[in-house]
Amino acid sequence: MATWTTLDIVKSEQYIDIKDDDRDDVLTTLITDVTARMISYLDKDPTATVTTELAQACAKQVAYEFKRRKDIGLSSVSYPDGSVNKYQVDEWLPDVLKILDRNRTIHL
């Protein structure tokens, strides 16, 4: 079992030096936001420890949102050569969503 994620884990995902604290406020806010959304989606007790799989998914989602924080809502970019890059614009990354769905509490 693990905690949701930590600043050090997210920095490692983004290849940010652990001693570099320039982005700590942004990363901490994202960690708090993503963790709260995951807890809500999963209908989990916020004080419960989580599986390593969920902790890794949380870190991956935070790292992705950190990387894309300046282009929220951007779905594609066209280049002069005619090529197009498409970006994920859903709330969750597809592989993170699969992990969340596997761990979701269903109330009948």
On average, the pLDDT of the chain sits at 83
What pLDDT, on the 0 to 100 scale, is given for residue 1? Answer: 45
What pLDDT, on the 0 to 100 scale, is given for residue 44? Answer: 84
Domain positions in the chain are 7-103
For residue 14, give the amino acid letter: Q
> Which DSSP string corresponds to 30-66?
HHHHHHHHHHHHHT--TTS-B-HHHHHHHHHHHHHHH
Assessment of whether the complete model's pTM goes beyond 0.75: yes
pLDDT 10s digits, 46-89? 788 788 899 999 999 998 888 877 766 655 666 678 776 655 65
Total number of residues shown for the chain? 108
